Amino acid sequence: MFTGASQFALVSVADNPVAGAASAIMLGTRNAMYGLRLTSILRVRGARKAVAAQLVIDESTAMAIGQSNDDDDDGRVGFWATGIAVFVFWNLATLIGALGADAIGNPEDFGLDAAAPAAFIALLAPRLRGREPWVVAIAAGVVALMVTPFVPDGVPILLAAVVAVVAGLRSPR
């Protein structure tokens, strides 16, 4: 699973593996949307497509789309360079974290539990353009908070997803 938000999501709902996996996959749906934009830039098939697919993430998509004008190779170079660089260092850092976890004592003492929400805030902010995402974000957050004390782990996240689906189906634009 090479898509950061999904990794964080799965870990956050680890008490309920099914809901954790479901929210990880739902957060991964945007990579499919990225693929749509990327097909014309990358023009890959066969084995190269299988590799390219794993590198489809926020960063590589942004670089590919940002660098591509018409026919030149910059978009492709941007995609592969960014994708490979992030892949290598992300997984290297994950390995260090996994091996070093025992060495650091109580993670709450230095605020590690605040890292995930902070990361999510940084990931959410660029998506809040216009009124609709704000409404959906606030509604989803409120719904999740209101039901949390009463339902099993993971269910609040699934209800938040329902908010997005309803909003997406209703607002014709």
Within 34-53, the residues that bind other proteins by CB under 8 A are 34-36, 38-39, 42, 44, 49-50, 52-53
Binding of other proteins by 160 (CB under 8 A) = yes
155 binds other proteins (CB under 8 A): no
The one segment of 69-77, 84-92, 96-104, 132-140 that binds other proteins by CB under 8 A: 132-140
User: Among residues 21, 62, 65, 77, which is the contact residue for other proteins, using CB under 8 A?
Assistant: 21
| 101 makes contact with other proteins (CB under 8 A) | no
Joined tokens for residue 22? 């479901």
**Pairwise CA distance, residues 33 & 78, whole Å:** 18
What is the C-alpha separation between 157 and 165, in angstroms, rounded? Answer: 13
Token digits of residue 86: 């992030």
| Residue with tokens 């489809």, as numbered in its chain | 56
Helices assigned H by DSSP within 74-154: 74-100, 115-124, 131-147
Q: Does 33 help bind other proteins (rule: CB under 8 A)?
A: yes
For 113, other C-beta atoms within 10 Å of its C-beta total 9
Q: What is the pattern of x (binds other proteins, CB under 8 A) and - over residues 52-91?
A: xxx-x-----------------------------------
